[in-house]
Amino acid sequence: MACAASTTGKDWYKEVTYQQRRMASLKLVTYRLPPLPTIGEIIKLYNLKAEKQLSQNFLLDMRLTDKIIRQAGNLKDTHVCEVGPGPGGLTRSILNAGAADVLVVEKDIRFIPGLQLLSEAAPGRMRIAQGDILTYRLDKVFPAHIAKTWEDVPPNLHIIGNLPFSVSTPLLIKWLEQMSNRSGPFMFGRTRLTLTFQKEVAERLTASKGSPQRSRLSVMAQYLCTVKKCFTIPGRAFVPKPDVDVGVVHFTPLAQPQIQQPFKLVERIVRNAFQFRRKHCRRGLEMLFPESQRQELSEQLLHSADVDPTLRPTELSISEFRALVDAYSRLCHEHQGLNDYDFREELRLKHKTKRAAGNTKEPHLQTTMEEHPNNAG
């Protein structure tokens, strides 16, 4: 069953006939797909030339797509949201694994006819939404009865995707934030994710304390989830071949997040700590405070959190980050306006004043920006 992007979970559930639901409950349906044109043939048939802009690199080898799907666990009778199905290779593996309800969200309209062919081969088990996953409301499209409480076992809902590189990091950050406030797909409980990333990003996500790959992303993901790097897919397995290899990563949200503070607050501390990743952590953390109180409050922060100021950000454990975030939160309660302080804004104002006074150089701002390359954190 294909449906438009506007179809809600409730409407969809009504659309599945009584007969289909009864057959599914009696296990009379067979999950394997009937013979279909291969993915290569689908690409040729619909002239699906890969668009670099949408990070389109396709997997044509069903053994590989099956291997990715196995990392998600048992998909029999589950609900799945697949991000960016493209010509549908991974989708076939999900359907063959026995998922009962597969919602695919694809931005590129050219893939819809090929996906409809697949949907007809799996009647009642596949919904197609054309849309942008960055804005698509996943809280609205699955039946309420599958929800579990947060502390319970994870719900029968999985998010799976061979993600477009262009959106993988912002999308993950968005999902981590939703995980922390239990919204979006996490309205249903601890929804598991099985996703692909550029190999270096996958390594950062799973990097432990002390590893050179340890970064902002490692801390943000690991304080909220168990993160497991499953395996690497060589770039040559994709069509067209990307310049990089790809890592498959599985996330299970933790019943008890390791830091119990608002996501934005955690993000602020972690971002500041990794600002100067090769220097002592004190250097980046100092920038949480206005110049006039920088020395005093950063000493208080580190002392109260019992964190060694000479550790590098890559050497800090999640529990040290927890102590820092808790201590910073206490300082914010004691010092009005601290929460809104942004050192970049202070620098900007300073330079504006300097420029107005005839000095056009921005030495400090440039040094700072060079020292915190975004892609290193």
Ligand X SMILES: C[S@@+](CC[C@H](N)C(=O)[O-])C[C@H]1O[C@@H](n2cnc3c(N)ncnc32)[C@H](O)[C@@H]1O
Instruction: Supply 63's token pair.
Output: 């053994």
Task: Identify which of residues 55 and 96 has a Cβ nearer to ligand X in the complex.
Answer: 55
Q: Could you tell me the smallest distance in angstroms from the CB atom of residue 261 to ligand X?
A: 30
Q: Could you tell me the smallest distance in angstroms from the CB atom of residue 60 to ligand X?
A: 7
Task: Identify which of residues 79 and 277 has a Cβ nearer to ligand X in the complex.
Answer: 79
CA distance 124 to 1: 5
Task: Identify which of residues 108 and 326 has a Cβ nearer to ligand X in the complex.
Answer: 108
Residue 339, marked binder: no
φ, ψ of residue 376 to 5 degrees: the values are -90, -15
φ, ψ of residue 124 to 5 degrees: the values are 80, 0
CA distance 89 to 94: 9
Kindly state the DSSP code that residue 313 receives in the 8-state scheme: G
Q: Could you tell me the smallest distance in angstroms from the CB atom of residue 189 to ligand X?
A: 24
* Chain Cα centroid distance, residue 150: 19
Q: Could you tell me the smallest distance in angstroms from the CB atom of residue 153 to ligand X?
A: 28
Residue 358, marked binder: no
* Chain Cα centroid distance, residue 238: 21
Task: Identify which of residues 107 and 282 has a Cβ nearer to ligand X in the complex.
Answer: 107
CA distance 158 to 190: 9
Kindly state the DSSP code that residue 3 receives in the 8-state scheme: -
Task: Identify which of residues 108 and 362 has a Cβ nearer to ligand X in the complex.
Answer: 108
Q: Could you tell me the smallest distance in angstroms from the CB atom of residue 327 to ligand X?
A: 38
The crossing angle, in degrees rounded to 10, of helices 294-305 and 318-334 is 130
Residue 84, marked binder: yes
Q: Could you tell me the smallest distance in angstroms from the CB atom of residue 133 to ligand X?
A: 4
* Chain Cα centroid distance, residue 327: 27
Task: Identify which of residues 86 and 124 has a Cβ nearer to ligand X in the complex.
Answer: 86
CA distance 260 to 224: 10
Residues that bind ligand X (CB under 6 A): 54-59, 83-86, 89-90, 105-108, 111, 132-134, 162, 164, 167
Residue 162, marked binder: yes
Residue 59, marked binder: yes
Residue 61, marked binder: no
* Chain Cα centroid distance, residue 149: 21
Indicate the residue whose CB is closest to ligand X.
Answer: 84
Q: Which segments are annotated as binding site?
A: 57, 59, 84, 106, 132, 162
Q: Which segments are annotated as binding site for S-adenosyl-L-methionine?
A: 57, 59, 84, 106, 132, 162
